[in-house]
Structure 1
Amino acid sequence: KKSILTVPTGFVLFLKAASMLAAEIEDKKHEKERVVNECFPPLKLSGLAVQELQDLCKELHRKIDVVDEARYEVEVKVARNNQEIQTLNGKIVDLKGVKRPSLKRVKKTTDDMLGAFTDTTKHMKADFKVNLKTVKKEEDKVKLEEVTDWRKNVEAMSGMEGRKKLFNAGQ
């Protein structure tokens, strides 16, 4: 009897992708080695005298200095460009200003306004007219009282009806 193994299609694709990834990594590794060998040939140090080795080191140091200067100049340019980009972005934001949404006029009743501040479970009717002062029409009419001479009634009001006469008589 032959046993047939059924392998899911997704698993086969996974194995194929893994093998392709491994091959790609190997290709990148070989490409990197090739470029390094082209750009930087191996140094021939055998058979060189001390003076020639020192000259070679000085030449390599000069090349390193040139590369460092170029790297520094590029860094300065990048920093300057980044700063300029930031200032221009700031100017753009300033020119645009703050976006304000267009507001719609909404008419609300007193009940709607109170509903926003109070609990919605308690429906409270508001009548702001209750707190207003009421004016009666009768109060508008000035009550006319009899105008009398206040000096005539001083003794009666003071409660000393006969005592004032006794005081005046004693002097």
Structure 2
Amino acid sequence: MSEKKMSSSRKHNLKSMMLSIAKGLLEVEEREREEERVRYMAENCPPLSLPGNSQDLQELCKKLQHKIDGIDEERYDLEMKVNKCAKEIEDMKFKHKVNMDLRANLKQVKKEVKEEEKEMRDVGDWRKNVEDKAGMDGRKKMFESEA
């Protein structure tokens, strides 16, 4: 047993020193990554050019917001129209069943005969009036005279 056991205070001291060194190395790596990101952005991305002062920017933002609101309203309206049409189509698919008995779908209508038409028909048919006046005797006379 040549190995000596370390005391707990010594272990704790070494552990805290290793953690502090690792923390420092992590901070350095983080700074290097941030610097690399800034350098890459400067090389590959053009600088942002802001027009005028903050007042102009606020006006531009308001205009864009109004456009966005208008487009959202139009989109909502169109979406409602599409949903309504789709619902109507679905309803039509289920409601409209082809029935080959077409007479069943017709409404029953009672025929009303007007009295005036009846009188006109009676008065207008002169043959009937002649036959009524002549009676059977008149017919017999017609046939007897021809024969």
Q: Normalising by structure 2, what TM-score?
A: 0.33
Whose relative contact order is higher, 1 or 2, with alpha carbons under 8 Å and at least 6 apart? 1
Q: Normalising by structure 1, what TM-score?
A: 0.28
Structure 1 or 2: more helix by fraction: 2
